[in-house]
Amino acid sequence: MALQTPDPVTQVHDRLIARSLEAKDATQAIWASDIEDLTEELNRIKVEFARFRLFYQWGIEQVATKLNILRQEFEDIHDYSPIEHIRSRLKSPESILTKAVKVGCDLTLPALRERIRDIAGIRITCSFTSDVYWIASMLSRQPDVTVVATKDYIANPKPNGYRSLHLIVKVPVYLSDSTESVFVEIQIRTIAMDFWASVEHKLSYKYGQQLPPSPQSRTRRRRSNCRGTRRTYGPTPRRDPADGGDRIRRRPPRRYTMNDMRHRVGFDCAFSVLQQLADDSEIQA
Protein backbone atom coordinates (compact mmCIF):
# COMPACT_ATOMS: atom_id res chain seq x y z
CA MET A 1 0.00 0.00 0.00
CA ALA A 2 1.50 3.32 -1.04
CA LEU A 3 2.05 6.04 1.55
CA GLN A 4 0.18 9.26 1.01
CA THR A 5 2.39 12.29 0.50
CA PRO A 6 1.35 15.23 2.73
CA ASP A 7 -0.13 18.11 0.92
CA PRO A 8 2.45 20.95 0.48
CA VAL A 9 0.01 23.42 1.93
CA THR A 10 -0.42 21.24 5.00
CA GLN A 11 3.35 20.95 5.40
CA VAL A 12 3.80 24.71 5.30
CA HIS A 13 0.94 25.16 7.74
CA ASP A 14 2.45 22.65 10.18
CA ARG A 15 5.87 24.33 9.98
CA LEU A 16 4.33 27.75 10.62
CA ILE A 17 2.46 26.44 13.65
CA ALA A 18 5.64 24.84 15.01
CA ARG A 19 7.64 28.03 14.55
CA SER A 20 4.83 30.06 16.12
CA LEU A 21 4.85 27.81 19.18
CA GLU A 22 8.64 28.07 19.42
CA ALA A 23 8.48 31.86 19.13
CA LYS A 24 5.74 32.00 21.75
CA ASP A 25 7.78 29.90 24.16
CA ALA A 26 10.83 32.09 23.54
CA THR A 27 8.81 35.27 24.01
CA GLN A 28 7.34 33.99 27.26
CA ALA A 29 10.81 33.12 28.48
CA ILE A 30 12.05 36.61 27.60
CA TRP A 31 9.03 38.21 29.28
CA ALA A 32 9.52 36.10 32.39
CA SER A 33 13.15 37.17 32.53
CA ASP A 34 12.25 40.83 31.97
CA ILE A 35 9.53 40.73 34.61
CA GLU A 36 11.92 39.17 37.10
CA ASP A 37 14.54 41.84 36.39
CA LEU A 38 11.92 44.58 36.61
CA THR A 39 10.64 43.23 39.93
CA GLU A 40 14.15 43.19 41.35
CA GLU A 41 14.73 46.76 40.17
CA LEU A 42 11.45 47.97 41.69
CA ASN A 43 12.27 46.29 44.99
CA ARG A 44 15.71 47.92 45.00
CA ILE A 45 14.17 51.36 44.31
CA LYS A 46 11.59 50.78 47.03
CA VAL A 47 14.27 49.95 49.60
CA GLU A 48 16.40 52.95 48.61
CA PHE A 49 13.41 55.31 48.74
CA ALA A 50 12.35 53.99 52.15
CA ARG A 51 15.88 54.60 53.43
CA PHE A 52 15.81 58.06 51.82
CA ARG A 53 12.61 59.01 53.71
CA LEU A 54 13.97 57.52 56.92
CA PHE A 55 16.66 60.21 57.10
CA TYR A 56 13.94 62.87 57.03
CA GLN A 57 12.03 61.10 59.78
CA TRP A 58 15.16 61.26 61.91
CA GLY A 59 15.51 64.94 61.01
CA ILE A 60 11.97 65.55 62.29
CA GLU A 61 12.83 63.80 65.53
CA GLN A 62 15.95 65.94 65.93
CA VAL A 63 14.02 69.20 65.63
CA ALA A 64 11.08 67.92 67.69
CA THR A 65 13.47 67.00 70.50
CA LYS A 66 14.90 70.52 70.52
CA LEU A 67 11.42 72.05 70.64
CA ASN A 68 10.22 69.73 73.39
CA ILE A 69 13.26 70.62 75.49
CA LEU A 70 12.51 74.32 75.06
CA ARG A 71 8.85 73.84 75.94
CA GLN A 72 9.73 71.74 79.00
CA GLU A 73 12.20 74.40 80.13
CA PHE A 74 9.62 77.18 79.90
CA GLU A 75 6.91 75.13 81.59
CA ASP A 76 9.11 74.00 84.50
CA ILE A 77 11.40 76.99 85.03
CA HIS A 78 9.65 80.04 83.60
CA ASP A 79 6.11 81.30 84.06
CA TYR A 80 5.12 81.26 80.39
CA SER A 81 5.77 78.93 77.45
CA PRO A 82 5.46 80.38 73.93
CA ILE A 83 4.97 76.91 72.42
CA GLU A 84 1.38 75.69 72.48
CA HIS A 85 1.44 72.71 70.10
CA ILE A 86 3.98 70.83 67.97
CA ARG A 87 2.93 68.73 64.98
CA SER A 88 4.99 66.98 62.35
CA ARG A 89 4.47 65.32 58.99
CA LEU A 90 6.54 63.37 56.47
CA LYS A 91 5.61 63.62 52.79
CA SER A 92 4.42 60.38 51.23
CA PRO A 93 6.29 58.98 48.21
CA GLU A 94 3.40 60.08 46.00
CA SER A 95 3.56 63.65 47.32
CA ILE A 96 7.33 63.78 46.85
CA LEU A 97 7.11 62.66 43.22
CA THR A 98 4.19 65.02 42.52
CA LYS A 99 6.18 67.95 43.92
CA ALA A 100 9.24 66.90 41.90
CA VAL A 101 7.26 66.89 38.65
CA LYS A 102 5.69 70.24 39.56
CA VAL A 103 9.04 71.99 40.09
CA GLY A 104 10.77 70.17 37.21
CA CYS A 105 13.14 68.17 39.41
CA ASP A 106 14.98 65.09 38.15
CA LEU A 107 13.64 61.88 39.67
CA THR A 108 16.93 60.92 41.29
CA LEU A 109 17.62 60.80 45.01
CA PRO A 110 20.41 63.44 44.96
CA ALA A 111 18.18 65.83 42.99
CA LEU A 112 15.21 65.21 45.29
CA ARG A 113 17.41 65.77 48.33
CA GLU A 114 18.58 69.16 47.05
CA ARG A 115 15.44 70.53 45.33
CA ILE A 116 12.56 69.26 47.52
CA ARG A 117 13.17 70.86 50.89
CA ASP A 118 9.80 70.33 52.56
CA ILE A 119 9.80 66.53 52.71
CA ALA A 120 10.07 66.80 56.48
CA GLY A 121 7.83 69.37 58.13
CA ILE A 122 7.11 70.63 61.64
CA ARG A 123 4.36 73.07 62.59
CA ILE A 124 4.48 75.09 65.80
CA THR A 125 1.50 77.03 67.10
CA CYS A 126 1.73 79.73 69.73
CA SER A 127 -0.53 82.38 71.26
CA PHE A 128 0.88 85.68 70.02
CA THR A 129 2.69 87.01 66.98
CA SER A 130 5.66 88.06 69.09
CA ASP A 131 6.04 84.42 70.18
CA VAL A 132 6.47 83.39 66.53
CA TYR A 133 9.64 85.44 66.11
CA TRP A 134 10.82 84.53 69.60
CA ILE A 135 10.70 80.80 68.79
CA ALA A 136 12.42 81.38 65.44
CA SER A 137 15.19 83.31 67.19
CA MET A 138 15.75 80.56 69.76
CA LEU A 139 16.01 77.90 67.05
CA SER A 140 18.35 79.92 64.83
CA ARG A 141 20.78 80.42 67.74
CA GLN A 142 21.35 76.71 68.20
CA PRO A 143 24.78 75.78 66.76
CA ASP A 144 23.67 72.67 64.86
CA VAL A 145 20.65 74.33 63.23
CA THR A 146 21.40 76.20 60.00
CA VAL A 147 18.65 78.46 58.67
CA VAL A 148 18.81 78.15 54.88
CA ALA A 149 15.76 80.21 53.89
CA THR A 150 13.04 82.30 55.55
CA LYS A 151 9.61 83.21 54.18
CA ASP A 152 7.70 85.70 56.32
CA TYR A 153 4.03 85.43 55.36
CA ILE A 154 3.10 87.35 58.52
CA ALA A 155 4.70 90.58 57.35
CA ASN A 156 3.70 89.78 53.74
CA PRO A 157 0.50 87.68 53.76
CA LYS A 158 -0.52 85.67 50.72
CA PRO A 159 -3.45 86.98 48.63
CA ASN A 160 -5.73 84.36 50.20
CA GLY A 161 -4.91 85.66 53.69
CA TYR A 162 -2.50 82.91 54.69
CA ARG A 163 -0.11 84.10 57.41
CA SER A 164 2.79 82.13 58.87
CA LEU A 165 6.55 82.18 59.29
CA HIS A 166 8.35 79.48 57.30
CA LEU A 167 11.92 78.43 58.01
CA ILE A 168 13.96 75.95 55.96
CA VAL A 169 16.64 74.60 58.27
CA LYS A 170 19.36 72.03 57.84
CA VAL A 171 20.01 69.70 60.76
CA PRO A 172 22.54 66.89 61.17
CA VAL A 173 21.48 63.27 61.61
CA TYR A 174 24.17 61.33 63.46
CA LEU A 175 24.57 57.70 62.39
CA SER A 176 26.89 55.00 63.67
CA ASP A 177 29.56 55.64 61.04
CA SER A 178 28.61 58.96 59.40
CA THR A 179 26.63 62.19 59.66
CA GLU A 180 23.97 63.20 57.17
CA SER A 181 22.37 66.65 56.90
CA VAL A 182 18.71 66.94 55.93
CA PHE A 183 16.34 69.84 55.27
CA VAL A 184 13.35 70.37 57.55
CA GLU A 185 10.61 72.94 56.96
CA ILE A 186 9.38 74.64 60.14
CA GLN A 187 6.10 76.56 60.09
CA ILE A 188 5.45 78.86 63.06
CA ARG A 189 2.09 80.59 63.46
CA THR A 190 -0.39 81.71 66.07
CA ILE A 191 -3.51 79.75 66.95
CA ALA A 192 -5.64 82.30 65.08
CA MET A 193 -3.42 82.03 61.98
CA ASP A 194 -3.61 78.24 62.12
CA PHE A 195 -7.39 78.44 62.46
CA TRP A 196 -7.69 80.64 59.38
CA ALA A 197 -5.27 78.46 57.36
CA SER A 198 -7.42 75.41 58.08
CA VAL A 199 -10.68 77.16 57.16
CA GLU A 200 -9.19 78.74 54.02
CA HIS A 201 -7.91 75.34 52.87
CA LYS A 202 -11.38 73.85 53.23
CA LEU A 203 -12.99 76.79 51.41
CA SER A 204 -10.45 76.53 48.59
CA TYR A 205 -11.13 72.80 48.32
CA LYS A 206 -14.86 73.54 48.11
CA TYR A 207 -14.59 76.28 45.48
CA GLY A 208 -11.45 75.11 43.69
CA GLN A 209 -8.33 77.21 43.40
CA GLN A 210 -10.17 80.56 43.64
CA LEU A 211 -13.01 81.70 45.87
CA PRO A 212 -15.96 83.51 44.29
CA PRO A 213 -15.66 87.33 44.46
CA SER A 214 -18.45 87.78 47.01
CA PRO A 215 -17.14 85.26 49.57
CA GLN A 216 -13.62 86.58 49.00
CA SER A 217 -14.57 90.09 50.11
CA ARG A 218 -16.42 88.79 53.14
CA THR A 219 -13.66 86.42 54.19
CA ARG A 220 -11.07 89.21 53.92
CA ARG A 221 -13.20 91.36 56.19
CA ARG A 222 -13.79 88.60 58.72
CA ARG A 223 -10.22 87.38 58.56
CA SER A 224 -9.08 90.62 60.14
CA ASN A 225 -11.06 89.67 63.25
CA CYS A 226 -9.00 86.47 63.59
CA ARG A 227 -5.53 88.03 63.38
CA GLY A 228 -5.23 88.64 67.08
CA THR A 229 -6.82 90.21 70.09
CA ARG A 230 -8.91 93.28 69.43
CA ARG A 231 -7.30 96.43 70.68
CA THR A 232 -10.30 97.53 72.71
CA TYR A 233 -13.25 95.83 74.30
CA GLY A 234 -15.06 99.02 75.26
CA PRO A 235 -18.49 99.10 76.88
CA THR A 236 -21.40 98.50 74.54
CA PRO A 237 -23.77 101.51 74.29
CA ARG A 238 -27.44 100.81 74.96
CA ARG A 239 -30.59 102.92 74.71
CA ASP A 240 -32.20 103.88 77.99
CA PRO A 241 -35.89 102.76 77.95
CA ALA A 242 -36.71 105.36 80.63
CA ASP A 243 -35.95 108.13 78.13
CA GLY A 244 -37.92 106.54 75.32
CA GLY A 245 -34.75 105.10 73.81
CA ASP A 246 -33.35 108.53 72.92
CA ARG A 247 -30.57 108.73 75.47
CA ILE A 248 -27.65 106.27 75.34
CA ARG A 249 -26.95 104.43 78.55
CA ARG A 250 -23.51 102.93 79.01
CA ARG A 251 -22.67 100.02 81.20
CA PRO A 252 -19.93 100.52 83.78
CA PRO A 253 -16.47 99.62 82.44
CA ARG A 254 -15.20 96.14 83.10
CA ARG A 255 -11.66 94.88 83.50
CA TYR A 256 -11.10 92.11 80.98
CA THR A 257 -8.70 89.32 81.82
CA MET A 258 -6.47 87.51 79.34
CA ASN A 259 -8.79 84.48 79.41
CA ASP A 260 -11.76 86.73 78.55
CA MET A 261 -9.90 88.11 75.54
CA ARG A 262 -8.82 84.66 74.34
CA HIS A 263 -12.38 83.36 74.57
CA ARG A 264 -13.67 86.45 72.77
CA VAL A 265 -11.16 86.02 69.93
CA GLY A 266 -12.08 82.35 69.61
CA PHE A 267 -15.76 83.27 69.51
CA ASP A 268 -15.15 85.92 66.84
CA CYS A 269 -13.29 83.41 64.65
CA ALA A 270 -15.93 80.71 65.09
CA PHE A 271 -18.71 83.20 64.33
CA SER A 272 -16.90 84.31 61.17
CA VAL A 273 -16.72 80.73 59.90
CA LEU A 274 -20.36 79.99 60.70
CA GLN A 275 -21.42 83.21 58.99
CA GLN A 276 -19.27 82.30 55.98
CA LEU A 277 -20.91 78.88 55.71
CA ALA A 278 -24.35 80.49 55.92
CA ASP A 279 -23.43 82.96 53.17
CA ASP A 280 -22.14 80.10 51.02
CA SER A 281 -25.46 78.30 51.41
CA GLU A 282 -27.28 81.44 50.24
CA ILE A 283 -25.02 81.68 47.17
CA GLN A 284 -25.63 78.05 46.23
CA ALA A 285 -29.39 78.48 46.71
Cβ-Cβ contacts under 8 Å for 246 (sequence gap 6 or more) = 239, 240
Catalytic residue among 84, 185, 200, 282: 185
Candidates 275, 281, 164; CA nearest to 222 is: 275
Q: For residue 222, give the nearest of 259, 263, 277, 164 by alpha carbon.
A: 277
Residue 199 CA to residue 205 CA, distance in Å, equals 10
Sheet strands (E) in 8-145: 85-90, 120-126
Active site residue 185: yes
Length of the chain: 285
> What residue type is 211 in one-letter code?
L
Beta pairing partners, 85: 125
Three-state secondary structure call for residue 216? helix
Catalytic residues, by residue number, are 185
